[in-house]
Chains A and B, each alone.
Chain A
């Protein structure tokens, strides 16, 4: 040991220190190690202060501003604002400064408030009291004063203040129970162990005498991994080294349960705790809509710049003659004249940019953000997605992806816990060829095994008896189930009831609970683990005690677990249970064939099977196994790997005992959901770690595969016969041939593909052979593209993510959705475009890492088909409409430049420029984008195929965008030239007085506001009172504002150009007539386009609208009094109808009011 310590010291200072660079040494109680043992190097660690806040009081303003202006949009508006401040621009800096200031302030206040909350939370956490052992006494201190190396006392139901190594507990066996509910959501009690050398400490004094150091790795975010070593110095002897693992490390945030108190030493504090490391933000996902929005923005930016360039060039061409540049009535200032022409041109360019900058509105970002943020509440408010049992509804973790829910093309789903309930029920076991079925109805009753034995094979009695005993004992012993005793529990149905307090079985794996409970039904009851002895109540009501020597824990690579026990007779036994594939190769004897047949039969029925085997160890074999295990456990580096090697050595030469079958029932409506997703055009892939037969059975049960589905297999079994190359090409041929046939025939056969993990990794392996073999990846994708359903079994968690990545990166760039409930699904949830977590039984990790969390798989249907669909059409309209209305807004300004000598004269007043996007036209579209329902919810659920209408971002494609932009340009041209010809050299008041340029602008602006709002009214299919209120309200607001704005000489303004302009305009008859005319003309093309499209080539959505409206009419006609039913809803409209006098609205309204009429004619025809 001296040498090793010496080596440690040397390696710290010398070159070969890589091994130690990632570790730290903690001196328990800050005591120096014995002189000579090791140099005392005090290391600096952060204190236990948790800082989740971003800002301090001092740096809030600069830091927050910096962060906000790092966003491109904000920066753009800042630049525009600064340009307005610096140069002489047509519009006052207020017009862009005010909205920007508003946005920045609101965001800053929001972030500041959130940060203040975080500060408060930090404070309360950092100041909560903690008991620390100092000089043999318990001293109460504050949490943030805790240092690495402090010994902490934690009492029952207290939360651990930092990451601690358990030294001793009040329980005599040195264990303590902990729940990590707040960390990963698992509510089960986990057991943590103290090392044997320290577990005997009972008092502070004893603990304080401990002289030891802990060497452990530097903090890592993985909650379930910890490697360390404790060196205990006992007076002048060599230190004793003990391994430390995750089972010794108590994590910050977890709570102590069922244990009075513990002593533990702090190893990671403050921001270095695993909890803090885990709360680092996830990477930002972006929706397809956001991407198209950015593309549109770039187009508009180009339009903006080209507009400014065109105008600048034309301005200088036009100004060529000095008479035009500076006529006698309009001189420049001396200062301006002296400026160089290039500078002047550049200033003009900037001024044009400023004039036209409203084409990219600040408010769009605010509105989109608001829409997403507020809209996401509808998901969490949805009662249909509320699960009574769980007491929780859907959760929205990111509101940025709402509309992506309407764009999903590939659904990757986990099987266990997602498609199936993960509510395991023991069905049968097969011992050595004999099948035992516990009577399911007689819960908790002991059944004689013989009464339910289904003999397949009759073997010699004694031999059979021995195997049976071993098998049942194996299942009773080989598990990590805990017994939770609870007196006040209502759970008679689950507990044991034999005069003792009722108890529960708790385990992180529901399979184990099912097995142990199944054993109970077959007569073997696992009682408890006491002082390392496992107690079993056997069929004859005798208690058997086994000493638990080692647990070889389950992991997903090995797919098995083992225990080594010592029976009361002194035999060393190793029991192992695991997946058939991991057990059979290690079996040397037993009735392998019969068991294998039974296992496969069960798997086909969709049951989860486990095989059980054992091995009798001799004393020497046991010693050797112990040695292997200890060695591996003591290792500081590569412990996982070493353990795996050790397990591999120990778990061999098994004798097969039998197999178990556990049923995992399908989630309710899982099949219906999958069918709907299929109809909606989504491809559903099931990714599971389960074996192929079980998974395939589940797929059939959930209608992923139908009877008609032709199954293509791409499994290890097949690739062993043929080369992967041949299999792939053959499958590809099959698929292609079928496609060419089905192109002609009506009934097309659909394909289902089954692939396993091993083959997948072979497919995905980069091809070394070169071009000769072609790219497997491409062929595989080609096959998948033609399959309606794909099942991937035997998948490792990382492979799930790989598959998602592969599909994501394929050339169509489809939108993917991953749904799962367990920790093994987290990687794919994070990888997919949209990650959905199910609040399942396997803990909350998936839900925590997901973008949306839902209680059940069936809720996915509503999530995608209804919410996703709605959000998509809402945001698509929002984006298109915003661009449209700003084209309408700015294009007349552009046209006006041709008539004002390219002088950047704004057409509209400053107030109109500022308020157009903020208040005149913002609320109707925001509310539209929150409450619009183009088709009713029930129709969407009934007709999943409507989802195809919006697939592939169909409402935001370039042709649609072009249509909207052209519509905007057309409207702008109508506004401008309509007003132009009206104003052309004539008067239009009855008293002969003339109007000026501001009346001209106000006329255009009035037409603009009305047209743009009515255009939205035409697009609205779902008129709730909110829509009415907001649409008519904002028009009314515009009128009232204009009256007020022009009604007073505003003392704080240095210009009064709008004084009485609006009222004078309204006093003129031709102005009214032209407003009505221009609105009608602007809306006409859109109405015609809508009507023609609907009549000539209606989409499925439009047909559905039609059908539902006919249905509504039928319903309303049924009580009699034809047409009276519809009148109830329309009545509130009447006041609006009478008070508004323009024909654009009339067009919209009269067309609407005629709906019942046309339908009644339709109805009367057949």
Chain B
């Protein structure tokens, strides 16, 4: 194929006949360097049963405790998950799901009741989860303009072609453009604790710190040069499926409005798999010994804006505590225990093999 392309030597002899006299013969002697003579000092390990088996035992001995630790940690994490899609007719959001229309001014609200059997200690993280939602579809993933989101003024009025068909609304360019922004998750979840005398106490939900720090402070920026966001976005249109323009995402807090709205940033980080969850709110730990979420009854108030039934999707709300290793995930612990055990077992097998074969091999020299 590409052979012969380096056959420089063939060409060399072409005209050099006269020049290659005997005078050069002295220089032709190759240098006696370790590299040129391929005699560099080297360490020559070989993998034999004898040398590998201690490694297997060591791996086994390290992995199994790690695995047990991970598994226990994972088991200690409390997680509560509730599906509020409203597929079956007895679910509270059935009507909202069924009667969904895009152009409604009256938001549909539904309430889901649930009970936490155990108290949730320390910080509790509230997620929304979507299933069968292909945020990793190629057409979807690339449908954004990072320049625009970074506050580039030219990209604000002339977004990237990748945003098609969510690039322009009429003649006005959309900000933020693209399919990802357009499909921003816009259900509003409010959590109430129902105490023993049936009074609703709203659980305080913190909406800051849910996005990556770097995203919020570097990657996403509102258009520069205008402190007033309404003016900054005046030449742009809102995404088609949005109810309100981008500068009204969180009017209460200018640091959480426009492109740097954290809900928006979280949504813009596309998920790897079609079933995913995204951080919605954080429930801060209370001072003192009272659990963040005591056990008891709760009410989840949902402003149902986001249709998923059309593509057979599901919506969930998840409450979870977090350890150093993240959320509940028994996989890693089990995997570590399994691999550790296999290594240990193999170590034993190799020990037998080593006794049976290795001695025989070393005593029997190779025939010369």
In the complex, the chain A residue whose C-beta lies closest to that of B166 is A331
Interface hits, A1106-1126 → B, CB 8 Å: 1106-1110, 1112
Q: Inside 8 A of A366's CB, which chain B residues have their CB?
A: 2
Cβ of A1165 < 8 Å from any Cβ of B? Answer: yes
Residues of chain B from 158 to 212 with CB closer than 8 A to chain A in the complex: 160, 164-166, 179, 182-183, 209-212
**Of A190-198, A221-229, A1070-1078, which binds chain B?**
A1070-1078
Are A330 and B140 CB-contacts (below 8 A) given A253-B17, A1098-B361, A1150-B54? yes
Q: Which residue of A lies closest to B16 (CB)?
A: A121
How many angstroms between the C-alpha atoms of A1130 and B45 in the bound complex? Answer: 10
Q: When the two chains form their complex, are residues A1054 and B2 in contact, meaning their CB atoms are under 8 A apart?
A: no
Query: Which B residues between 38 and 90 are near A, CB-CB below 8 angstroms?
Result: 38-52, 54-55, 58-59, 62-63, 66, 70
Q: Choose from A110, A323, A982, A1087 the contact partner of B52 (Cβ within 8 Å).
A: A1087
Q: Are A1146 and B50 in contact (CB under 8 A)?
A: no
Q: Are A904 and B138 in contact (CB under 8 A)?
A: yes
A-B pair number, CB within 8 angstroms:
409
Contact A330 B139, beta carbon cutoff 8 Å: yes
Contact partner of B136 (CB less than 8 A), chosen from A900, A1025, A1054, is: A900
A391, A398, A1056: which contacts B150 (Cβ < 8 A)? A1056
Answer whether A1162 and B326 are a contact pair too, CB < 8 Å, given A997-B270, A1070-B332, A1088-B346.
Answer: no
Determine whether the beta carbon of A1129 is less than 8 Å from that of B1. no
Decide if A372 is an interface residue (CB 8 Å cutoff). Answer: yes
Q: How far is the CA of A946 from the CA of B310 in the complex (A)?
A: 68
Q: Which residues on B sit within 8 Å (CB–CB) of A400?
A: 3-4, 7
Cβ contact within 8 Å between B183 and A330: yes
Residues of A within 8 A of B215 (CB): 1059-1060
- Please give the distance in Å from A950's CB to the nearest CB on chain B: 16
Does B366 sit at the interface, judged by CB under 8 A?
A: yes
Find B46's partner among A334, A931, A1021, A1092 (CB 8 Å cutoff).
A1021
Interface string of B1-37 (1 = CB under 8 A from A): 1111111111101111110101001101111100011
* Interface status of B156 (Cβ within 8 A of chain A): no
Q: Within 8 Å CB of B9, what residues of A?
A: 395-399
Interface residues on A, range: 35 or more
Within 8 A of A (CB), among B297-334: 307, 310-312, 320, 322-329, 331-332
Q: B45 near A382 (CB under 8 angstroms)?
A: no
Stretch at the interface among B112-120, B277-285, B287-295: B277-285
Instruction: Please state if A1112 and B44 are interface contacts (CB–CB under 8 Å).
Output: yes
CA–CA, A103 and B44, complex, Å: 35
Contact present for A1069 and B324 (CB under 8 Å): yes
Question: How far, in angstroms, from A287 to B343 measured CA to CA in the complex?
Answer: 42
Contact across chains for B140 and A329 when beta carbons are under 8 A apart:
yes
Q: Which of A323, A1049, A1100, A1158 contacts B218 (CB 8 A)?
A: A1049
A:310-357 near B, CB below 8 Å: 323-324, 327-334
Whether A1091 pairs with B54 at a CB distance below 8 angstroms is: no
Interface presence of B252 (CB below 8 A): no
Known contacts A114-B11, A391-B25: does B179 contact A1094 (CB below 8 Å)? no
Q: Contacts A381-B30, A400-B4 hold; do A323 and B45 have CB atoms under 8 A apart? A: no
Query: Taking the complex as formed, is A1068 at the interface, i.e. its CB lies under 8 A from any CB of chain B?
Result: yes
Q: CB < 8 Å: which of A281, A386, A986 contacts B328?
A: A986
* CB-based contact B146/A986 at 8 Å: no
Q: Is the CB of B1 within 8 A of A71?
A: yes
CB of B94 within 8 A of chain A? no
Report the stretch among B103-111, B230-238, B351-359 that lies at the interface: B351-359
Residue pair A1103, B366 in contact (C-beta under 8 Å) = yes
Q: Is the CB of A1073 within 8 A of B332?
A: yes
Q: Is B263 part of the binding interface, using a Cβ–Cβ cutoff of 8 Å?
A: no
Give Cα A365–Cα B1 distance, bound, in whole angstroms. Answer: 8
By beta carbon, the residue of chain A nearest B145 is: A1054
Judge whether B179 and A329 touch: CB under 8 Å. yes
Chain A contact surface mostly? helix
Question: What residues of A have a CB within 8 angstroms of the CB of B259 in the complex?
Answer: none
Q: Does A497 have its Cβ within 8 Å of any Cβ on chain B?
A: no
Instruction: Give a binary string over A1004-1032; 1 marks a CB under 8 Å from any B CB, 0 the rest.
Output: 00000000000000100111111100000
Q: What separation, in Å, do the CA atoms of A933 and B179 have in the docked complex?
A: 56
Whether A1155 and B322, one on each chain, are in contact in the complex, defined by CB atoms closer than 8 angstroms, is: no
Considering the chains assembled together, what is the distance between the CA atoms of A989 and B211 in angstroms? 12
Interchain CB contact under 8 A, A987 and B277: yes
Report A1058-1092 CB contacts with B as 1/0, cut-off 8 Å: 01100010001110011001001100100110111
Judging by beta carbons under 8 Å apart, are B358 and A1162 in contact? yes
Does A624 sit at the interface, judged by CB under 8 A?
no
Closest to B34 in A: A1024
Q: Given A901-B274, A989-B326, A381 and B36 touching (CB < 8 A)?
A: yes
B339 at the interface (CB under 8 A from A): yes
Cβ contact within 8 Å between B5 and A107: yes
Write out the residue numbers on chain B whose beta carbons fall within 8 Å of the beta carbon of A978. 335
Segment 1152-1166 of A: residues with Cβ below 8 Å from B: 1152, 1154-1155, 1157-1159, 1161-1162, 1165-1166
**Is B28's CB under 8 angstroms from A1021's CB?**
no
Central interface residue in B7, B182, B241, B363, by most chain A CB within 10 Å: B7
A1001 to B271, CA, bound (A): 11
Which of A182, A903, A1000 meets B18, CB within 8 Å? Answer: A182
- C-beta contact mask, A358-391 vs B, less than 8 Å → 1, else 0? 0000000110110011000110111100100001
A1106: contacting residue among B320, B354, B361, CB under 8 A: B361
A899 contacts partner chain B, Cβ-Cβ < 8 Å: yes
> How far does the Cβ of A273 sit from chain B's closest Cβ, in whole Å?
13
Nearest CB of A to B263, in Å: 13
User: Which B residue's beta carbon lies closest to that of A107?
Assistant: B5
Q: For the complex, what is the distance from the CA of A868 to the CA of B274, rounded to whole Å?
A: 53
* Contact pick for B4, options A284, A900, A1073, A1154, CB 8 Å: A284
Interface presence of A960 (CB below 8 A): no
User: With A369-B5, A986-B328, A1150-B54 as given contacts, are A992 and B322 in contact (CB-CB < 8 Å)?
Assistant: yes
Once the chains are docked, how many angstroms separate the CA of A1146 from the CA of B277?
A: 35
Contacts of B135 in A (CB 8 A): 997
- Whether B357 lies near A1026 (C-beta < 8 A) is no
Question: Which of B16, B182, B273 lies in contact with A899, CB distance below 8 A?
Answer: B273
Which parts of A866-919 form the interface with B (CB within 8 Å)? 870, 899-901, 903-906
**B134→A327 contact, CB < 8 A:** yes
Is residue B227 contacting chain A, with contact meaning CB distance below 8 A?
A: no
How far does the Cβ of A1062 sit from chain B's closest Cβ, in whole Å?
A: 12
Contact, CB under 8 Å: A1166 / B363? yes
**Is there contact, CB below 8 Å, between B361 and A1103?**
yes
Say yes or no: B3 contacts A121, CB within 8 Å: no
Are B138 and A905 in contact, CB atoms less than 8 angstroms apart?
yes
Docked pose: A332 CA to B165 CA in angstroms: 7
A159 to B272: give the CA distance in the assembly, Å. 75
User: Which chain A residues lie closer than 8 Å to B134 at the CB level?
Assistant: 327, 330, 900-901, 903
Question: A636 to nearest B CB, angstroms?
Answer: 31
CA distance A395 to B336 in the complex (A): 55
- Which single residue of chain A is at the shortest CB-CB distance from B31? A381
A393 proximal to B (CB < 8 A) = yes
Contact B279 A1081 (CB under 8 A): no
Contact assessment for B282 and A1091 in the assembled complex, using a CB-CB cutoff below 8 Å: no
Beta-carbon contact of A73 and B270 below 8 Å: no
Give the residues in chain A near B136, CB-CB below 8 Å.
899-901, 903, 905, 997
Q: Could you tell me if B123 and A992 are in contact, using CB atoms closer than 8 angstroms?
A: yes
B338-350 vs A, Cβ < 8 Å mask (1 yes, 0 no)? 0100110010001
Once the chains bind, are A1143 and B59 in contact (CB under 8 Å)? yes
Given A323-B312, A1106-B46, A997:B25 Cβ within 8 A: no
Can you list 9 contacts pairing A with B, beta carbon distance less than 8 Å?
A393-B28, A900-B134, A903-B139, A986-B327, A994-B279, A1018-B47, A1080-B59, A1151-B47, A1162-B50
Going nearest first, the 7 A-B pairs with the smallest beta carbon separation are A182-B17, A391-B25, A988-B326, A329-B183, A1000-B272, A1158-B50, A1152-B45
Q: A52-B11, A984-B331 are in contact. List 14 more A-B contacts (CB 8 A).
A: A281-B10, A327-B311, A328-B310, A333-B165, A901-B134, A990-B325, A994-B127, A994-B271, A1000-B273, A1054-B147, A1084-B343, A1094-B46, A1094-B47, A1129-B43
